[in-house]
Structure 1
């Protein structure tokens, strides 16, 4: 687990030493002072807050501190104004001053202790129980997977760039931003869920302005040099849940609790939760027929064609079966070359989108005719490592690096 955002409801739950440290000096106001425009905005569910105040702490000692924001909102029915504090932090950076060495569920008390030490240093006072009970609004579950010499990163990212998750959760939108930062980053968006895959070492070495991580610790680059990891490839898998409702749906399902149960910070450190959620998110990708095709290990077009023809003939030796095989091969070949999302998008431009169910049937048939072909070596390796879920320490990475050097 890495990034976490928690919300603390009510100005009585926290104390600020110096309000002037916020970008706009913080000030409260009674409901009567709200303008008609403010009251209208308060009823608009698309407006997240009326005012926001961001803490800019004047401290530079090389340590990691949580980000702090305060949001003002209003309830027109009760004619009241309330204030929420949002704390954003990286669990491994708070604990280890780097996100290459993974945090562990057993680090919960260490994380809480570190927060209780760092927050007063930037003028924020909150009880440890309030932090433990704070509701989670964003959480990024993640895993660092060191890659051996025969499992290079770029082919794995290239294969994953061809999958489609657009219909995994109903009428959500799929926006793909792929192969950025020199083919080392891949994002898949689906509603308030996001999958991210990238080279963790190279991400840490990039300047903050060109990096996914805008707040980096000085220690992170030192770690890479100290352990001589510059040429090590670490596949970073992140499953990001960006809304409280989504978090409740995912976390409470694994904790076997009712959906409506609020997810607190302390809940996130339940043993095996991270492993279960990450493995389930990986299986959601693999579950779709077109994704299984996209991630197949095939030696070329002709081998794929011959395999599908052979399987179709085994099932039924007829013209109908022959046509089915040709259609299946055409779909599989397009997915392998251009991706499942591109296939759906381009077909939607030419043909009615109402025919999606028909396409789903054809894709399912294509997958069945190719289902005894193995998945790619990279896909299998990532799945195996997620199942193992070995804790990644700097010492472990150094050992992996030495093994890789010996192989080369």
Structure 2
């Protein structure tokens, strides 16, 4: 009774994986009992490891974690692409697909939909606030507080590299959004749900805004043009309209100011002055950096759509279609283009007009701002009913 020299490994609570080549992964288990068998002799080696199992399958490097001897949980995470309102986003921590659920960076994604974020590292909580909606999550808990009421999430909020991750379903508690995951493309898409309504026989997507289109064909062409411009040009824009000025604008947001001397033509001083004029109201009202950047870049896309159009000084141009396809514009048609672009980016917009002028307004962080090129001026009173002022385009949401 002889047998060849061999190592026979018997492992308790062992998980085997195979890599792409069909080879067994090396596994360290909580208890590993190894019997080395030789003719009539054996050596018993008992090794006690940590409470976690890590199995690395050469090429796959997949982690399998066991938290106790009795129960085990397979945790597989895959980084995925995030698309919000048609734009691919790059966040410090990518969205992940874990055990059948998509988790996203709460701070980054909620800010995309206008929320302000507050973090309490000691309590391990993060709070998002948008208007009257307040959402609070705690790391390690699947119960979120939405306006003080419990909301059970499909998975627990977790922290990855210091980033609070939550399931996409929670985003819908902040804004009327719909999310979907394409497993083949490894992409999560989040966008506001759009309910089409008929206005004057035209099916519209944002409030009751037709952008003064005469028919469905004009409306559809306007929206196609706007979507194309945003897809093509939005990511090319910078705060301050150049890469060099962008940092100076961010320095303004972080507290730096121009010296008050217009004779000082130093580039940074000029940029700080321009930033004060253009985004000063947003900074003063504590709008977040990402939201300021989003609004500013959106305004640039809108401006470039109308900047080269001719004003015939006849008052005839009325619609976004006139500006985008007939090549003529005035304040009415320019305002229609501007709100169309901001609408497409998910903002609440409106146009207030008088006898000889029309101004576009955008709601940012709960406040209304008049938009002039890339400048944002906070407005607290529209003075409607006074003089000749009236609402040319009511708010996308239906109310001021």
The TM tier, using the shorter chain, reads: under 0.3
User: Which of the pair is proportionally richer in strand?
Assistant: 2
Q: Provide TM-score, normalisation by structure 2.
A: 0.27
Specify which structure has the bigger relative contact order, considering alpha-carbon pairs within 8 angstroms and separated by 6 or more residues.
1
Q: Provide TM-score, normalisation by structure 1.
A: 0.26
User: Which of the pair is proportionally richer in helix?
Assistant: 1
